[in-house]
Amino acid sequence: MPANIATCFLQDKLGYMWFGTQNGLVCYDGYNLKVYNLETTDKKERANRVITTIFEDSKGILWIGTYQQGLFRFNRTQDNFTYFPHPSSKKEPNKYDNPYFIVADKEG
């Protein structure tokens, strides 16, 4: 594990266990651990990888909330993430963008 503390966890519809830590996201398939550092297609390194929440929607898509980095969607087929920055007038991430819960409404 990349950190000693799991901040959140989820078992997805495929049976994988996901653990949010203070230093990245971990997937456990029953045999091996894989650590994700929230790498997106642009290969930009995230300085802060504190995972605050993990949510799986009705389509099986994982959504990851992070401390001071905002929201990410896991792309299973590409094994990477899409970043959804919070709209801000500044060029740096909104330091108050800390999702602690993700839920779906009745429309999904």
12-70 per-position pLDDT tens digit = 999 999 999 988 899 999 999 999 888 777 777 666 788 999 999 999 999 998 887 78
Per residue in 1-11, pLDDT tens?
777 889 899 99
Say how far apart CA 88 and CA 92 lie, in whole Å. Answer: 8
- The pair of three-digit structure tokens given for residue 80, joined into one six-digit string: 């990477």
Say how far apart CA 25 and CA 2 lie, in whole Å. Answer: 8
CATH architecture for the domain at 6-84:
Beta Barrel (2.40)
Q: Within 10 A of 66 (CB to CB), how many other CB atoms are there?
A: 25
Instruction: Show the beta-strand stretches assigned E in the chain.
Output: 6-11, 17-21, 24-28, 33-36, 51-56, 62-66, 70-75, 80-84
